Amino acid sequence: MTKRVVVTGVGVISPIGIGKEAFWQGLASGKNGVGPITHFDATSFSSQIAAEVKDFNPADYLDKKEARRLVRFIQFGIAAAQIAVKDSNLTIDSQNAPDIGVIVGSGIGGIGFLEEQAKTLLTRGPSKLSPFTVPYMIADMAAGYISINLGAKGPNSCVVTACASGTNAIGDAFKVIQRGDAHTMITGGTEASITPLGVGSFCAARALSSRNDDPKHASRPFDKERDGFVIGEGCGIVILEELERAKARGANIYAEIIGYGMSGDANHITAPAPGGEGAVRGIKAALKDAQITADQIDYVNAHGTSTLLNDKYETMALKTVFGERAKKVPISSNKSMFGHLLGATGAVELIATILSINNSIIPPTINYEHPDPECDLDYVPNQSRKQAINIAMSESFGFGGHNAILIVKKYSP
């Protein structure tokens, strides 16, 4: 019999709040986390706006030496993991550590540290490079540091599938528990790419919004005047547990994960497959895994990047999946509030989906002002909506044609 997998803890570091309470308040109220870039001087960049995490102090989670030394995406990962473990009331000890694993995704990893060391190499020579260059640059080190920090000795891995990384990581962790390789997984995604190279590269690809004079209205998924995504940063970590294990220790259960699907577009390095064909296959795979039909989905947490093709093709994909019911299914994009967190976005959005189920409130798609005839579904515009949710779907699509879908359900014994 397939093991049931539930969510017993959440930890989030986001541009609209740190911790689930602040994060949820931000979501439900339509808080806007976008503003001018402060991490570096972006005057010469075509996009000068971002969704930065404010008021994050790594010393709250790490000793002084590590807080000063570790790079930001790892700091985010450790902090969110600690918050999630505490929220779950999970104790990790010598007895259970081998059965508690870590899978955390990151799309880009330590890009800021790579930039610094490249400058050092060019100006001061190879002898001045930091011995931490490789460990702080590679994307898997968030998962590595989390396991070291918490003492989790079970299955340990990292997923790098661009903007689908966090969703794929959670889906893979879900399967680890389902097949019995571990009873608990610490999983999600983390990213900190608001750096000159990170922002400049996306500018070169013409992927970012250039609405620099009006940052609060720059991220506008599904709106006719959308002109690109707003880069963000943050981390989402969830604690997944095998149901009987969670019940035995009296854990609080937020929701049950019931389905995971993925697919490849085999189309283009950045553009989604025409008509959302790849997304459709990913959604159908998740529905099959969950053993449900599309008619049972009550809410869709969309990828909704605020880019021309993504929003159009995602809308087309949902029409294909839901058919005549498409216009009756509420759909919203959290990126309208906190931007695109790249490899962390799927994990943070899954937490948003879970909290939506728990609070019976659908967060809005803010900045939806100009309807697009090609994006004509119910995007829950501008204000949150009170609605009971039994089953919800969270979607993530990444450069390279990676599509990842998670389906979560209100927990029922």
CATH number of 261-409: 3.40.47.10
Does residue 166 sit in helix, strand or coil? helix
pLDDT at site 60: 96
Quickly list DSSP for 255-290.
Answer: EEEEEEEEEE--S-SSSPPGGGHHHHHHHHHHHHHH
Q: Judge whether 5-248 and 261-409 match in fold.
A: yes
Is 289 within 8 Å of 260 (Cβ atoms)?
yes
Contact predicate 388/373, CB 8 Å: no
pLDDT in tens, 179-224: 999 999 999 999 999 999 999 999 999 999 999 999 999 999 999 9
Percent share of the chain, pLDDT over 90: 99
What are the φ/ψ torsions at residue 375 (nearest 5 degrees)? -125, 85
Radius of gyration over alpha carbons of the chain, in Å? 20
CA dist 79 and 58 (Å) reads: 7
Q: Strands, DSSP E only, in 118-275?
A: 156-157, 184-191, 234-242, 255-264
Q: Examine the pLDDT at 2 and tell me if it is beyond 90.
A: no
DSSP 195: S
pLDDT tens, position by position, 304-352: 999 999 999 999 999 999 999 999 999 999 999 999 999 999 999 999 9
Look over the chain and give the mean of its residue pLDDT values, rounded to a whole number: 97
Distance, CA of 291 to chain centre: 24
* pLDDT average, residue stretch 366-379: 97
What is the average pLDDT across 372-401?
A: 97
Give the CATH fold of the 5-248 domain.
Peroxisomal Thiolase; Chain A, domain 1 (3.40.47)
Give the C-alpha separation, 27 to 124, whole Å.
Answer: 46
The domain spans of the chain are 5-248, 261-409
pLDDT single digits (tens) 135-161? 999 999 999 999 999 999 999 999 999
Per DSSP, 70 falls in state S
pTM of the complete model: 0.97
How far apart, in whole angstroms, are the C-alpha atoms of residue 46 and residue 328?
A: 38
DSSP state of 374: T
The pLDDT assigned to 167 comes to 98
Percent of the chain with pLDDT over 70: 100
Which sequence positions are flagged as catalytic? 163, 303, 340
Q: Which residues pair with 18 in a beta bridge?
A: 13
pLDDT in tens, 215-256: 999 999 999 999 999 999 999 999 999 999 999 999 999 999
pLDDT recorded at residue 1? 72
Cα–Cα distances in angstroms (integers) from residue 332 to residues 35, 296, 366, in the given order:
21, 17, 9
Q: pLDDT digit string (tens) for 49-71?
A: 999 999 999 999 999 999 999 99
- Give the tokens for residue 296: 């049972």
Residue pair 337/26 in contact (Cβ under 8 Å)? The answer is yes
Q: pLDDT at position 6, please?
A: 98
- Per-residue pLDDT, averaged over 22-39, amounts to 98
> What pLDDT is recorded for position 413?
86
Q: Is the pLDDT of residue 297 over 80?
A: yes
